[in-house]
Amino acid sequence: MKKISISGQITILFSFVLILSAVLFTTVTLNRIKYVAEQETYSRLITYSTLLESHSQDPQIEFKDMQIGFAKIRNKNLVFSADLSQYMSEAEFKKIVEDAYKQTTPPIIKRKMINLERKNIYYVITFVEGNGMNIIMTNSLYVNKLSKSVSIQMIMVFIVIVCLATLCIMWWGKQFTKRLHQLQSHILEMPKNGYNSSYKDDGLDEVGELSRAIETMRIEIQESEKQKQEMLQNMSHDFKTPIAVIKSYAEAQQDGMDDGEGSKIIAAQAEILKHKVNRLLQYNSLEYLQKDREFEDVDMKEVVEEVVRGYKFQTELTINLDLTEDIFFKGYRENYYTVVDNIIDNARRYAKTKIKIVLKKDRLRIYNDGEHIDEQFIAHSFKPYEKGSKGEFGLGMSIVQKTIDFFGMQLIVKNEPIGVSFIITK
């Protein structure tokens, strides 16, 4: 099947609607035109009747587009034009006269009849003094000619309107599709030029809005690509140190230069590397985090207690708990576990003496008495692998931020007079 462009579809649809509207309008209007033509016919007949009364003989008035017949009745004397029989038979004429005399009013009676040949005859009866009357009549020639003339003029006007409108809509359709093609070319070129070229359609319609939305998307993608590059660079530095330590101690063991601590250091560095890999896997899994099932009610008291038990033998810091029973957050338990674990792990590295966890209704606060966080670092919403105040790279807080956002919660990081609070709230 041949492809039809948008401009072609718009032109076809517009032309079809316009022609259909013209046909419907003409059909409805033709009846009105015929009515107007009939009223004009009666008006002419009345004019002729007035002239006929003012002359004792046939005034011989000619209407180029009308055929006129008449009859005069004076004191039961009948005078009529020679062509009266062309309009009606003698019996029909007598019936009209009888019906007219039955009328008490008005002085002018308009009638229309259909004779035996199914032709319309229009006539006007005018009463005069002395019980007389004038009867003026004509056939449907004038009505038909007037209706036809007006109809042809209307059809010609509609044809001109349809042609002009079609040309206008074709021009508009081409301009519209041209804008779409330009936008399409821009979209296809964006990956090739690294999302560096911008394009903006200044139109106030939907295409303009789409163009501005694509430009916003381009900037976001460009920023995302930049963050990924920074993340890869920072990640390479972050992984390089433990790998280098492991390699150097392993080579020392091969050369017989181990001082007895090499195995412990290798194991410690391997544990650090494992921790970093786990964080990376957690962060990567968030890219595929979807609401594939309904959020569940997660008992946050249980989650916090389980995470804290895991740090029981990993730190000498004091961990104070103030946990209210039956506090539930909407989400997935495994992800909330990761969130709490990352915040406590971060607090463990920076705290001086203690960590305090307070769980109240719709609010979880994890406090440590460590040094303040740089406000600029907070403003960046914990970009992945951004270097912290101690020169360390990490993904933990970026994982926290993305997870909390996904669950529709809010993460507030607040520098206290002494220490820092991480607050999760609705």
State pLDDT tens for residues 4-49. 566 666 767 777 777 777 777 777 777 777 788 888 888 888 888 7
Total residues belonging to the chain: 426
> What pLDDT is recorded for position 364?
92
Are 326 and 381 a contacting pair, CB within 8 Å? no
Q: What pLDDT digit, counting tens, does each position of 383-415 carry? A: 555 555 554 445 677 788 888 888 888 888 888
Mean per-residue pLDDT over the chain, rounded: 76
Q: Does 155 have pLDDT greater than 80? A: no
Question: What's the average model confidence in pLDDT over 306-328?
Answer: 84
Give which of 152, 126, 100, 121 is closest to 41, Cα–Cα.
121
Q: What pLDDT digit, counting tens, does each position of 114-125 carry? A: 554 567 888 888
CA distance 238 to 169: 61
Q: Which comes out higher in pLDDT, residue 362 or 199?
A: 362
Q: Does 59 have pLDDT greater than 60? A: no
CA of residue 136 relative to chain centroid, distance: 66
Task: Extract the tokens encoding 393.
Answer: 């790279």
> What pLDDT is recorded for position 115?
57
CA distance 37 to 140: 10
Question: What's the average model confidence in pLDDT over 199-223?
Answer: 75
> What pLDDT is recorded for position 393?
44
* H or E segment and range at residue 77: strand 77-80
Q: Does 106 have pLDDT greater than 70? A: no
Are 113 and 121 a contacting pair, CB within 8 Å? yes
> What pLDDT is recorded for position 89?
75
CB-neighbour burial class of residue 105 (10 A; exposed 0-12, middle 13-18, buried 19+): exposed
Determine how β-strand 354-360 pairs with β-strand 318-323.
Answer: parallel
218 — pLDDT class (breaks 50, 70, 90): confident
Of all residues in the chain, the percent with pLDDT exceeding 70 is 77
Lowest-pLDDT range of 192-206, 241-255, 328-342, 343-357: 192-206
What are the residue ranges spanned by the domains of the chain?
206-286, 296-425
> What pLDDT is recorded for position 367?
92
Q: Which comes out higher in pLDDT, residue 306 or 244?
A: 306
CATH architecture classification, 296-425: 2-Layer Sandwich (3.30)
Q: Does 307 have pLDDT greater than 80? A: yes
CA angle, residues 281, 408, 275, in degrees to nearest 5: 20
Q: Does 2 have pLDDT greater than 70? A: no
First to last CA, the chain: 55
Q: Give, in order, the Cα–Cα distances in Å from 337 to each of 23, 103, 170, 293, 333.
A: 71, 103, 61, 18, 6
Query: Positive or negative CA dihedral for 242, 244, 250, 256?
Result: negative
Q: What pLDDT digit, counting tens, does each position of 79-102 carry? A: 777 677 777 777 777 887 777 777
Q: Which comes out higher in pLDDT, residue 278 or 355?
A: 355
CATH architecture classification, 206-286: Orthogonal Bundle (1.10)
64 — pLDDT class (breaks 50, 70, 90): low
